[in-house]
């Protein structure tokens, strides 16, 4: 670990709701010590805002002594969507676990779990062989850089554009910046098929996931995920998994949701998330996270 951040994939829209059991109507669970919530498709509405109801629920959780962690694939520079709503907690796990940042302190990086350059190059070679036509981007602590055929993110200015081998070079202009994620986009494969193919080809070199409705994969350091970094943060605070309540909607949330003692899938969640969780809440556009917090606190 380097004690010193990722990005995240752009989500142009929330995936269409998959068939799922009815929303959770059981008695409110015990009050957790920590709430871990994804952002896009979960806490945020589709217009990337946090509703007044959700802001009030987060503030109430904090007044009740519950820590709140935003756990996202977004890089720190994309955290303005929640920066005004951090209240007293302020810590966020970004880039699918690659970085922990303090939003109260100008986005200061608290912990970093990078992707090693050699592993990234192995991923590039293996996935390119398995899925010809793939294009890559490299997310470093200072920003994202693209191959010529990679569709750039609308939230970011275009950085260095070059073959991925140059983007990963240790001798280039940005070579001193740690690698948070490698991003792989395929123009033809379906998202889940691409994820399965890439994991089979290169899973030994990194952790593969996805959070976009397009065939866009996010590759972190081996063993790095939202869950692994959340587990470290909780251990530092003496918080056990069964004292954590987590919310999510996409495959990059799966490890976190299965690690937490209590987990909720949004009504708009990916089918794999619906299958892996025992609780449901309303969709992100219906303030599903806030609804659960209100029930837990008896509001």
List, for residues 62-73, the tens digit of each pLDDT value. Answer: 999 999 999 999
pLDDT at 21 over 80: no
Confidence of residue 103 (pLDDT cuts 50, 70, 90): confident
Measured CA angle at 125 (ends 119, 130), to 5 deg: 120
Looking at residue 105, what is its pLDDT? Answer: 74
| Number of helical (H) and strand (E) elements in the chain, helices listed first | 9, 13
Supply the Cα-derived Rg of the chain in whole angstroms. Answer: 18
> Which residue is it, tokens 């987990």?
263
Confidence of residue 77 (pLDDT cuts 50, 70, 90): confident
The Cβ of residue 84 has, within 10 Å, a number of other Cβ atoms equal to: 10
pLDDT, the chain, mean: 88
Distances (CA, A) of 142 to 13, 150, 163: 26, 19, 18
- Give the Cα separation of 297 and 104 in Å (integer): 25
Looking at residue 26, what is its pLDDT? Answer: 54
pLDDT at 5 over 60: no
Is 27 exposed, middle or buried (CB count within 10 Å of its CB: 0-12, 13-18, 19+)? exposed
Percent of the chain with pLDDT over 90: 74
Confidence of residue 85 (pLDDT cuts 50, 70, 90): low
pLDDT tens for each residue of 191-222: 999 999 999 999 999 999 999 999 999 999 99
Q: Which of 174, 59, 196, 226 is nearest to 127 (CA)?
A: 196
pLDDT tens for each residue of 113-126: 999 999 999 999 99
Q: Is 292 helix (H, G, I), strand (E, B) or coil?
A: helix
Q: Which of 129, 130, 96, 60 is nearest to 206 (CA)?
A: 96
pLDDT at 179 over 60: yes
Out of 110-114, 156-160, 182-186, least confident range? 156-160
pLDDT tens for each residue of 214-264: 999 999 999 999 999 999 999 999 999 999 999 999 999 999 999 999 999
Looking at residue 106, what is its pLDDT? Answer: 73
- Find which of 20-24, 169-173, 281-285 is predicted with most confidence, using mean pLDDT: 281-285
Answer positive or negative: Cα dihedral of 86, 69, 199, 274: negative
Q: Which of 65, 17, 12 is nearest to 40 (CA)?
A: 12
Looking at residue 11, what is its pLDDT? Answer: 38
Q: Which of 133, 132, 166, 181 is nearest to 6 (CA)?
A: 181
pLDDT at 37 over 50: yes
Percent of the chain with pLDDT over 70: 86
- Give the Cα separation of 22 and 282 in Å (integer): 10
- Give the Cα separation of 135 and 133 in Å (integer): 6
Looking at residue 24, what is its pLDDT? Answer: 59
Distances (CA, A) of 206 to 96, 116, 154, 223, 270: 13, 9, 26, 7, 22
User: Which domains are seen in the chain, by residue range?
Assistant: 34-113+225-297 (3.40.50.1000), 117-220 (3.30.1240.10)
> Which residue is it, tokens 């070199």?
205
């Amino acid at each position: 670990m380097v004690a010193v951040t990722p990005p995240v994939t752009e989500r142009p829209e929330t995936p269409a709701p998959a068939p799922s059991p009815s929303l959770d109507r059981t008695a409110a669970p015990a009050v957790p010590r920590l709430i871990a919530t994804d952002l896009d498709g979960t806490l945020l509405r589709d217009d990337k805002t946090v509703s007044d109801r959700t802001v009030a629920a987060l503030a109430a959780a904090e007044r009740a002594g519950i820590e709140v962690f935003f756990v996202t694939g977004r890089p720190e520079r994309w955290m303005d969507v929640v920066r005004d709503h951090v209240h007293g907690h302020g810590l966020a796990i970004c880039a699918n676990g690659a970085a922990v940042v303090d939003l109260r302190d100008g986005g200061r990086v608290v912990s970093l779990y990078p992707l090693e350059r050699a592993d990234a190059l192995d991923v590039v070679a293996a996935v390119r062989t398995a899925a010809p036509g793939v294009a890559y981007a490299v997310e470093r602590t200072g920003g994202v850089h693209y191959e010529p055929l990679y569709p750039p993110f609308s939230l970011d200015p275009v950085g260095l554009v070059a073959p991925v081998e140059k983007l990963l070079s240790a001798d280039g202009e940005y070579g001193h910046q740690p690698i948070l994620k490698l991003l792989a986009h395929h123009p033809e494969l379906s998202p889940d098929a691409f994820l399965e193919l890439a994991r089979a080809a290169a899973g030994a070199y990194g952790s593969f996931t996805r959070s976009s409705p397009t065939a866009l994969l996010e590759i972190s350091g081996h063993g790095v995920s939202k869950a692994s970094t959340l587990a470290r943060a909780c251990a530092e605070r003496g918080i056990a998994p069964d004292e954590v309540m987590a919310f999510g909607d996409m495959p990059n949330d799966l490890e976190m949701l299965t690690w937490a003692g209590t987990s909720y899938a949004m009504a708009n969640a990916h089918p794999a998330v619906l299958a892996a969780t025992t609780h449901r809440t309303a969709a992100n556009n219906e303030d599903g996270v806030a609804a659960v917090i209100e029930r837990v606190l008896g509001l």
